[in-house]
Amino acid sequence: MTLLVTGGAGFIGSNFVLDWLKSSDEPIVTLDALTYAGNLENLASLQGDARHTFVKGDICERALVDQLLSQHRPRALIHFAAESHVDRSISGPGAFMRTNIEGTYTLLEASRAYWSGLGDVDKAAWRFHHVSTDEVYGSLSEQDPPFAETKTYEPNSPYSASKAASDHLVRAWHHTYGLPVLTTNCSNNYGPYHFPEKLIPLMIVNALAGKALPIYGDGKNVRDWLFVSDHASAIRAVLQGGRVGETYNIGGWNEMSNLEIVHTVCELLDELRPDAAGSYKRLITFVKDRPGHDRRYAIDARKIERELGWRPAETFATGIRKTVQWYLDHPEWVVRVQSGAYRDWVAQQYQA
Ligand code: NAD
Ligand code: TYD
């Protein structure tokens, strides 16, 4: 038994791979193109571990995906690889269309070819697990109920539109060809190894460097936040017991405005790394809003709880404390990410 994981050197993918190998000896093959967001240092603790194989490559390369499937014969493919940052999708949508749509299409077609050739038992057990986002559902007003799995798709950014397209492809490959798929739509994650272009890690590293903490618009946009290891445990639960062809929403039951998030981060830093110049809140700066900025996301995660018994283990209070502490404990990771040195490390270690 083996899992093929795409995007396993990114934020959520690397947390998933590390979590999986903590509690299972089932091997993982990671396929990752190591874009700016892929950091092999996240998986450095697995060097020399026979249970993990890293392959640098692009999910759009059909021949490579075919070869990995026939060589490693995985029982499931877990698809994390994506372009994932909304702001980058606004300034350059092309890479999002290619990786998120064409890449998912390539993986589906390669999977279909491989899966068609399996014996009956392996065929029934095989899974394509597509990791997606709540952003496909669009934006909520304050009074709207949270997103259920039945919510219509209303993506608003090039990122969420490309993820919505990939979700539709996955659905169609199940409906038309019978490919055994699972889709999970998760809310905003936070935790270790989060690239400091996203809100929470950006605020932590900027605060520690004495730089401005840029808040878009009025700071009242709301997101549901989930600690990343809870996302990993939800994926394990869906992979193990999810009904084929179904989608499951994953969330933390934790809606907060951006301003509340940044205040919490500042208060934790004030406690754990006080600054003689005063509270880190002094660095908060309101900046021009993101174009098309979705006002509110919220997740109704009752289906995954009812069917699979999954609930998040962390509260926001426990998860954000662990996260801030992780960044304080790993200044070298931050420095290497910010300077780009993690890419030199990859070149040396991996002969990229
Ligand atoms: P990330 O940007 O940190 O990592 C993406 C990874 O995919 C990187 O390692 C990158 O090198 C790799 N990749 C990109 N293009 C590739 C390609 N063409 N071929 C192979 N590898 C490629 O993203 P993340 O935050 O870890 O998100 C992982 C998945 O979870 C994405 O599908 C995202 O849409 C979804 N998701 C993210 C969040 C969140 O809060 N970050 C929430 C819900 C869902
Ligand atoms: P982000 O982490 O980019 O995730 P997403 O847009 O996919 O939800 O942003 C989270 C929220 O934080 C979002 O409402 C935009 C806001 N934000 C800021 O206010 N300032 C920033 O510098 C960033 C990166 C995000």
Ligand 2 centroid to Cα of residue 188, in Å, is 10
Asked if 189 contacts 124 with a C-beta cutoff of 8 angstroms, the reply is no
Spans of all domains in the chain = 3-191+226-254+293-312
Atom 5 of ligand 1, residue of closest alpha carbon = 10
Name the catalytic one among 32, 58, 83, 135: 135
Class of domain 3-191+226-254+293-312: alpha beta
Q: Are 230 and 318 in contact (CB under 8 A)?
A: no
pLDDT of 340: 83
Whole-angstrom distance, CA of residue 39 vs CA of residue 309: 33
CA-nearest residue, atom 5 of ligand 2: 86
Question: Which residue from 185, 189, 155, 187 is spatially nearest to 170, judged by alpha carbons?
Answer: 185
Q: How does strand 222-227 pair with strand 255-257?
A: antiparallel
CB 216 less than 6 A from any atom of ligand 1: no
Whether 224 is a known active-site residue: answer no
Alpha carbon 63 to its chain centroid, in Å, reads 25
Q: Give me 155's structure tokens.
A: 């993506």
pLDDT at res. 189: 98
* Structure-block tokens of residue 124: 């029934």
Q: Are 202 and 216 a contacting pair, CB within 8 Å?
A: no
Per-residue pLDDT 10s for the chain (352 aa) are: 999 999 999 999 999 999 999 999 999 999 999 999 999 999 999 999 999 999 999 999 999 999 999 999 999 999 999 999 999 999 999 999 999 999 999 999 999 999 999 999 999 999 999 999 999 999 999 999 999 999 999 999 999 999 999 999 999 999 999 999 999 999 999 999 999 999 999 999 999 999 999 999 999 999 999 999 999 999 999 999 999 999 999 999 999 999 999 999 999 999 999 999 999 999 999 999 999 999 999 999 999 999 999 999 999 999 999 999 999 999 999 999 988 877 775 566 555 4
Supply the pLDDT for residue 199. Answer: 97
In the set 32, 41, 83, 134, the catalytic residue is 134
Report whether 80 contacts 12 (CB < 8 A). Answer: yes
Cβ of 269 below 6 Å from ligand 1: no
What is the predicted pLDDT for the residue at 352? 46
Cross-strand partners of 78: 5, 129
Residue 222 in contact with ligand 2 by CB distance below 6 A: no
pLDDT at 346: 59
